[in-house]
Amino acid sequence: MQIYLQQCAKCHGPTGEGISAAVTIAGPNLWAEDDPGRVMTALEVGPSHMPRFEYILSVAQMHAVSDYVAHTIAQIHLNGGDLSRGGELFRRNCAACHRTAVRGGGLVFVGTNAPSLTGKSAALIAGAIRWGPGPMPRFPPSVLSDHQVASIVDYIRYVQQPASPGGSALNWYGPVAEGFVAWVGVLLMIGIVMWIEKGGKG
Amino acid sequence: MIASIARWLDSRTRAAKFARSIMNHVFPDHWSFMLGEIALYAFVILVITGTFMALFFDGSSADVVYHGSYAPLVGVHMSSAYQSVLHLSFDVPAGLVIRQMHHWAADIFLGAIAAHLLRIYFTAAYRKPRELNWMIGLTLLLLAIANGFLGYSICDDLLSGAGLRIGYSILLSVPVIGPWLTFLAFGGTIPVSATIPRLFAMHIFLFPALIATLIGAHLALIWRQMHTNYPGKGRNDRVIVGSRLWPSYTLKSIGLFLFVFAVVAALGSFVQIDPVWIYGPFKADAILPGAQPDWYLGWIEGAMRLFPSVNTHFGKWLIPEVFFPGFLFPAVVFILLYAFPFIDKLISLDFRAHNVLRMPWEQPFNTALGCAVLAFLSVLFVAGGDDVIAVAAGAPLAWMRELLRYLAFAAPLLTGVVAYAICETIRRRRSRAIPAQPAEPFERSEVNVEMR
C-alpha cells in the first residue's frame, strides 16, 4: 500500500485509475490486473515508459506491491467472454467514437480523437471501459457487467487478430480510401489505353 | 469448311454486304476516345458478377439469426439480406472475390464515366450534332450514381444503413412532394420492411435495364454520327481518319476489355472493399463515425458538411437545411450540365455542326470554367471525408472544416484564373506559329471516310 502510493501512484493514480492517455508518460488503469504474476512481470520488464522496478525495489517489496494491485486495486475479472455478444455491445457502446473497425475516430465536440484500440492489452481495455479516460464515458458495473466487459475485450482483440478476409483492408479507412484506390485503378487503365493506342510499344 | 458455312449463311441472309460495311466502319485512333469504352467494359463486368450474386442474395429484411462461419456474428439477429451477403462472402466459393469485383467495378465504372465526361467537355465534343448524345451520357451518369448507391445500400449493414438514412432525409426534405417521394422509393418511414425489396428490384431490374438501353442508344448515335476527331493534317469536318472496326479496332477493344477485367479482378482479390462484417448489421440505435458514401457521392456528402446550418422559413413552412446542399445543389449542377451545349452556343456564338474537336486552349473560357468547377467539386469531395482525413493526418477536425469552407471559394477562383492564363499563352504561341485557317461551312452530319 505504502510502496504503491510512493512508487506507482504518480503514474497509475492513487486507486489505480490511471492517467489520461493524452499525457505522454501516462500509466494506464490497473483495475483489471487481477493476476499477481502478470503484475510482477510488468515490474521486472518495465513496459514502455514504466521504469524497471528490479533495480528500485527488493523482491519482497515487488511481491507485496503485486499482491496489493492484484487483490485490492483490481476489481474487474475477465473470463469467458462471448464474442458475438461483444461485437453487438461494441457497436452499440463504443463504435460511435472508436469506429466499428476499432481504428479510432474523430470527436468533433471535444477536439480530441478516440484512439485506435489495436494492440492494446485486455487489462488496459477493460480498465478503460470502467474508468473512462479523458472525454470517454465511464461504464460502471451497473451498465456493463464483468462478463459483458470480457465479451467486448474478446471482440476488440478478435477483429484485429486474424487477417481480415478479402485482401488489404486499407487500414479500414472505409469508402474514402476505397475511392482513392478506385481512381488509381482508373488512372492505371487510362495508362493502359494510352499504351494500346501507341501500338503497344514502350 | 468455314467458307462454305459462310456462303450457306450468306445465300440465305444476304448478310455479307451488310457485314462488310459494318466491319469497314472507321474509328479514329486516340487514347482519349477509349475512356467511355473502359466504362462500357466495367458495366459488362458489373452485369456478369451481379448475375452471379443475384443467385445468392436474398432481398428481404426478415429477421434471422446468423449461423454462418464468421464467428463474431454467430447468434446475432440481422436482416435476411445482410445474412445472405455474409453467406456470399464467407461460405460461397469465390463469393467474396466476385462481390469485391462487383464493388470495384462499380467504383471504376463511375470513374471512367467521369473521365470520359471531362474529355468530352474539355474538347467541346458536345457541340452540334452531338448535343443529344451528351444528354444521354449525363443520364447514364445519373443512373449509374443512383444504382451504385442502391447497390451498397441493399447490403443492410450499419454503414449503408447510415447512408440510406441520409438519402431518405434528403428526399424527405424536398418541399411539398418530399413525403410522397420517400414513400415511393422506400415504402414507408425507415426502417421499414418494404425498403430492401424495393431497392433491390430497382438495383437489379429497373436501373440496369435503363442503363443498358441508354448505352445502346449512346453507341448507336456515335455510330450514326461517326466519331469526332482531333484537329490535324488532312482532317476536317468532312473527313474522318482512323482504323477499321474489323480487324484493328475490334482487337484493340478486346485487348482493352481483358485489361479492364484484369485490373478489376486484381483489386477484387487483393484489396478489401466494403467489409460489411466489420460494420455489423444495421440497427437503428447504433452509429459509426468515419461513415462516408462511395466516392461518386462524396461531393454531395461534402456539400452537406460544409453548408451552414440554416433552416429557411416560408410563412408556416420550413425548408430543412439538407435540402439546399443535398438536393438543390446536385440538381442545379446537373441542370447546368444538361444545358451546357446550348449555353456554349451563346458563349461562342457558333451554331454550326462540328466533327473536329476544339482543343482546350482554343476555348480558354470553357476550360477555365471547367477547371474551376472541378476544383470546387474536389474541395467538396475532400470535405466528404474530412473526419477520416483529420484522424489520419492528426489534424483537428473543426479547424479543417473551417479551412475547407474558405477553400471552396478560393480554389475555384484560383484554378480558373490560372487555367485561363495558361490557355491564353498556349493559344497565342500557337496562332503565331500557324496562321488560322478559315473553317469550311458544314451543315450535314454525313462525312467522307479516309481509312488507314
Note whether B397 contacts A108, CB cutoff 8 Å: yes
| A132 neighbors B325 (Cβ within 8 angstroms) | no
Contacts for B199 with CB less than 8 Å, ≥ 6 apart: B59, B150, B153, B154, B185, B186
Q: Lowest-pLDDT range, A23-37, B331-345, B432-446?
A: B432-446
Q: How confident is the model at residue B322 (pLDDT cuts 50, 70, 90)?
A: very high
Q: Reply yes or no on whether the pLDDT at B328 is more than 50.
A: yes
Q: Reply yes or no on whether the pLDDT at A100 is more than 80.
A: no
| CA nearest neighbour of A87 among B70, B181, B328, B222 | B70
- The 3-state DSSP class for residue B49 equals helix
Average pLDDT over residues A73-79: 81
- B334-377 pLDDT, tens digit per residue, is 999 999 999 999 988 888 888 889 999 999 999 999 999 999 99
DSSP per residue over A11-57, as a string?
Answer: HH-TTS----TTSTTPPPP-TT---HHHHHHHHHH--TTS--GGGTS
The pLDDT score that the predictor gives to residue A197 is 84
| CA nearest neighbour of A44 among A58, A30, A26, A25 | A58
Q: Lowest-pLDDT range, A39-43, B145-149, B239-243, B340-344?
A: B239-243
Domain boundaries, chain B: 2-347
Q: How confident is the model at residue B232 (pLDDT cuts 50, 70, 90)?
A: confident
Pairwise CA distance, residues A96 & A114, whole Å: 10
| B106 neighbors B148 (Cβ within 8 angstroms) | yes
Average pLDDT over residues B105-125: 96
CA B280 vs. chain centroid, Å, equals 28
- CA of B112 to nearest chain A CA: how many angstroms apart? 6
| B265 neighbors B348 (Cβ within 8 angstroms) | no
ipTM for the complex shown: 0.87
The pLDDT score that the predictor gives to residue A14 is 83
Q: How confident is the model at residue B443 (pLDDT cuts 50, 70, 90)?
A: very low
- CA of B299 to nearest chain A CA: how many angstroms apart? 12
Average pLDDT over residues A80-95: 88
- The 3-state DSSP class for residue A106 equals strand
Q: How confident is the model at residue B255 (pLDDT cuts 50, 70, 90)?
A: very high
Pairwise CA distance, residues B34 & B115, whole Å: 10
Q: How confident is the model at residue B452 (pLDDT cuts 50, 70, 90)?
A: very low
CATH superfamily of domain region B2-347 = Cytochrome Bc1 Complex; Chain C (1.20.810.10)
- B153-178 pLDDT, tens digit per residue, is 999 999 999 899 999 999 999 988 99
Option in B38, B283, B387 nearest A106 (CB): B387
End-to-end alpha-carbon separation of chain A, Å? 75
Q: How confident is the model at residue B442 (pLDDT cuts 50, 70, 90)?
A: very low
Option in B38, B75, B270 nearest A168 (CB): B270
Residue type (1 letter), A13: G
Enter the pTM of the model. 0.88
Indicate the average pLDDT of chain B.
89
CATH number of the domain located at residue range(s) A2-73 in this protein: 1.10.760.10
CATH number of the domain located at residue range(s) A83-160 in this protein: 1.10.760.10
Q: Which of B78, B264, B288 to mutate to test the interface with A (most CBs of A within 10 A)?
A: B288
Share of chain B above pLDDT 70, in %: 96
Average pLDDT over residues A92-120: 72
Of residues B144 and A156, the one with the higher pLDDT is B144
Ranges of CATH 1.10.760.10 domains, chain A:
2-73, 83-160
Residue B94 touches chain A, beta carbons under 8 Å: no
Q: Is the peptide bond before B360 cis (omega within 30 degrees of 0)?
A: no
Of residues B249 and B215, the one with the higher pLDDT is B215
Average pLDDT over residues B63-83: 93
Q: Where do the DSSP E strands lie in chain A?
A: 105-106, 113-114
Q: How confident is the model at residue B333 (pLDDT cuts 50, 70, 90)?
A: very high
Say which residue the cell 504503491 belongs to: A4
DSSP per residue over B229-253, as a string?
Answer: B-S-TT-BTTEEEEEEIIIIIHHHH
Q: Reply yes or no on whether the pLDDT at B28 is more than 90.
A: no
The pLDDT score that the predictor gives to residue A104 is 62
- A3-17 pLDDT, tens digit per residue, is 888 888 888 888 888
Average pLDDT over residues B213-237: 87
- A128-170 pLDDT, tens digit per residue, is 898 888 788 889 889 999 899 999 999 988 887 766 788 887 7
A106 vs B contacts (CB less than 8 Å):
289-290, 387-388, 390-391, 397
| CA nearest neighbour of B375 among B333, B402, B414, B401 | B414
Q: Reply yes or no on whether the pLDDT at B273 is more than 90.
A: yes
Note whether B280 contacts A164, CB cutoff 8 Å: no
- Sign (positive or negative) of CA dihedral A49, A52, A56, A58: positive
Q: Reply yes or no on whether the pLDDT at A23 is more than 50.
A: yes
Note whether B38 contacts A193, CB cutoff 8 Å: yes
